[in-house]
Structure 1
Amino acid sequence: MSESTPLPIRERTRRLAQTELTSVAQDLFVAQGYDGTTVDQIAAAAGMSKRTFFRYFPSKDDLVIGKYDLFADRMAEALDERPADEPIWESLRRVFDTTLDYVQDDYQRARNEAMDEIVRSTPQLYARYLEKMQRVQQLLIGRVAGRLGARGDDPSDPRPAAIVGAAFACMQAARQAWFASDRSDTFGDYLDVAMKTIQLSERPTA
């Protein structure tokens, strides 16, 4: 495994609190609707003051969108933990294991689908969602570029963005196919099939 710097205790504590707040808030949003849920209600349900809530999220909108930052960080950290000599495509497949429970677990899937509908139907949330999903890919693109010996901010090198974009396309195709199936196989099996259909060269040709 590659070595990575452990997160400071304060940052780990902050992330745990943000994750807990997000979980509590999502349950309230699903039960009461986004507009019908206040910051006071979220804070009370999480057992904290409104003032403490604002230490973790500047607003209710930020709480909803913040889960995508946590998701991005989780995926980036998962890639950092893969062996440096592992093929990039295999590393990305293993990174996608972080999404399995969100699709396969009935409770998490139902809650995520409800939250996705809230985001899609709220213009200011949807615009920020698109920005956050771009950040997810950019974090991975920079790391893939490093594996290729390239610069992640070099727009003249299409390889890192192409590899990450193809991997996310495979994940989306697998998700759609799995939902359309009888689900006798796992979502992970579908990911394996989707990603094995694409062969990527990780080294520049002469």
Structure 2
Amino acid sequence: MSETSPMPIRERTRRLAQTELTSVAQDLFVAQGYDGTTVDQIAAAAGMSKRTFFRYFPSKDDLVIGKYDLFADRMAEALDDRPADEPIWESLRRVFDITLDYVQDDHQRARNEAMDQIVRRTPQLYARYLEKMERVQQLLIGRVAARLNTADDPTDPRPGAIVGAAFACMQAARHAWFASDRTERFGGYLDDAMSTVSISTAD
């Protein structure tokens, strides 16, 4: 495994609180609609005061979009935890394992699909969503560049191409799995998609 500094307890506690708030809020959004849900209701459902809520998220919009920051951080940390000598493509495939429950678990999938609709139908949320998804890829691109020893060379197209291809494979697998009878696990579709792409990192 790669050597990384442990996350400070305060930051770990903050992440846990943000994750719990996000989960509680998403259930309320699905049940009541985004506009019909207030910060007061979210805070009450999470068992905290409105003032405490604002310690974790500046606004309701930030709570919705914040899940993409948490997702980005989880993916970056997952890549950091992979062995340094592991092939990059295999590392990215293992990083994508954190997405499996979002697709395969019925409750999480229903909630995520409902949240995706809310984001796409709300212009200010959708604009920020696109920015956050760009951040997800940029975090991984930086780490892939470090693996290739090209972090100081912005003219090297390989890190961006590798990460872009990996995300394209994930999307292709997701579309294929949803079109199927879903009797097979999503991970198998992801394996098939990524195995069709040959990645070379040779100089």
The interval holding the TM-score normalised by the smaller chain is: over 0.9
Matched, 1:85 2:65: no
Q: Matched residues in 1 for 2:186 and 2:2: separation?
A: 27
Q: Which runs of 5+ in 2 are unaligned?
A: none
- In the alignment, what sits opposite 1:37? 37
Distance 1:202 1:92 in 2: 14
Number of the residue aligned with 1:200:
199
Distance 1:160 1:199 in 2: 14
Letter in 2 for 1:201: S
User: Aligned partner of 1:194: which letter?
Assistant: A
What secondary structure is seen at the aligned counterpart in 1 of 2:193? helix
In the alignment of these two chains, the number of paired residues is 203
Write the letter of the residue equivalent to 1:108.
Q
Is 1:72 aligned with 2:76? no
* Identical-residue share of aligned pairs (%): 86
* Offset of residue 14 of structure 1: 0.2
1:184 aligns with 183
C-alpha distance after superposition, 1:131-172 (max 9, x if no partner): 0000000000000000001016x4311000000000000000
- State the partner residue of 1:173: 172
Q: Give the aligned partner of residue 5 of structure 1.
A: 5
- Write the mapping of 1:25-174 to structure 2, written as runs, cut at 5 A: 25-151=25-151, 154-174=153-173
**CA distance in 2: counterparts of 1:89 and 1:99, whole angstroms:** 16
Q: CA RMSD in A?
A: 0.7
Could you tell me the TM-score, scaled by structure 1's length? 0.97
Cα drift, residue 65 of structure 1: 0.1
After the TM superposition, list the runs of 4 or more consecutive aligned residues in structure 1 that deviate by more than 4 angstroms.
Answer: none
For 2:184 and 2:90, locate their aligned partners in 1 and report how far apart those are by CA, in whole Å.
20
Task: Tell me the equivalent position of 2:17.
Answer: 17
Rounded to whole Å, the distance in 1 between the matches of 2:201 and 2:88 is: 7
Distance 1:155 1:7 in 2: 29
Whole-Å Cα distance in 1 between the matches of residues 5 and 100 of structure 2?
Answer: 25
Per-residue displacement from partner, 1:30-68 (whole Å, max 9, x unpaired)?
000000000000000000000000000000000000000
Q: Structure 1 unaligned segments of length 5 or more: list them.
A: none
Q: Could you tell me how far apart the structure 2 residues matched to 1:5 and 1:104 are?
A: 32
C-alpha deviations, 1:102-148, integer Å up to 9, x for none? 00000000000000000000000000000000000000000000000
Instruction: Please give the secondary structure, in 2, of the residue aligned with 1:4.
Output: coil
Aligned counterparts of 2:58 and 2:105: Cα–Cα separation in 1? 30
Q: Deviations over 1:8-38 (max 9, x none)?
A: 0000000000000000000000000000000
The 1-side partners of 2:172 and 2:5 are apart by: 34
1:169 partner amino acid: A
Partner letter of residue 75 of structure 1?
M
